[in-house]
């Protein structure tokens, strides 16, 4: 899976599936996915709820995600693919990525 443009982001991420809850540190953020610093103890393609704060934002993002493997990982996955994003969440992600990388904000998300 191509991630497109990603920006570094090292924030704690809370992952939930039913009664299971784990925490991981993120490493990179794209418009469609978040990468973790190390694999999460969930099955690839498993749907989860992920909650994290982007720097300089007052409220956390709580998103539905699906775990995916990055490279040739044997256990779990380091990728969290977003689905069902609301337009305001897409704008928040786009603003963070453009500001972090010093790129102009796409008119699609302005």
Angle at CA of residue 45, ends 31 and 71, nearest 5°: 70
- For residue 85, what are the contacts with CB-CB under 8 A and spacing of at least 6? 63, 93
Q: Do the Cβ atoms of 97 and 7 come closer than 8 Å?
A: yes
Q: Do the Cβ atoms of 55 and 9 come closer than 8 Å?
A: yes
Q: Where are the domains of the chain?
A: 7-101
* pLDDT tens, position by position, 5-48: 899 999 999 999 999 999 999 999 999 999 999 988 898 899 99
Q: Which two tokens stand for residue 109?
A: 């998300």
Q: Which two tokens stand for residue 44?
A: 């690839």
Regarding the domain with residue range 7-101, which homologous superfamily does it belong to in the CATH classification?
predicted glycosyltransferase like domains (2.40.10.220)
The SS3 of residue 5 is coil
Q: Do the Cβ atoms of 62 and 80 come closer than 8 Å?
A: no
Which range is least confidently modeled, 19-28, 55-64, 75-84?
75-84
What pTM was estimated for this model as a whole?
0.89
């Amino acid at each position: 899976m191509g991630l497109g443009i990603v920006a570094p982001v090292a924030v704690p991420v809370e992952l939930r599936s039913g009664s299971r809850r784990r925490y991981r540190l993120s490493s990179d953020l794209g418009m469609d996915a978040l990468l973790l610093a190390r694999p999460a103890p969930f099955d690839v393609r498993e749907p989860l709820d992920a909650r994290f704060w982007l720097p300089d934002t007052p409220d956390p993002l709580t998103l539905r995600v699906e775990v995916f493997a990055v490279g040739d990982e044997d256990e779990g996955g380091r990728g969290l693919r977003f689905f069902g994003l609301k337009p305001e969440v897409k704008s928040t992600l786009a603003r963070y990525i453009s500001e972090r990388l010093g790129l102009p904000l796409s008119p699609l998300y302005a």
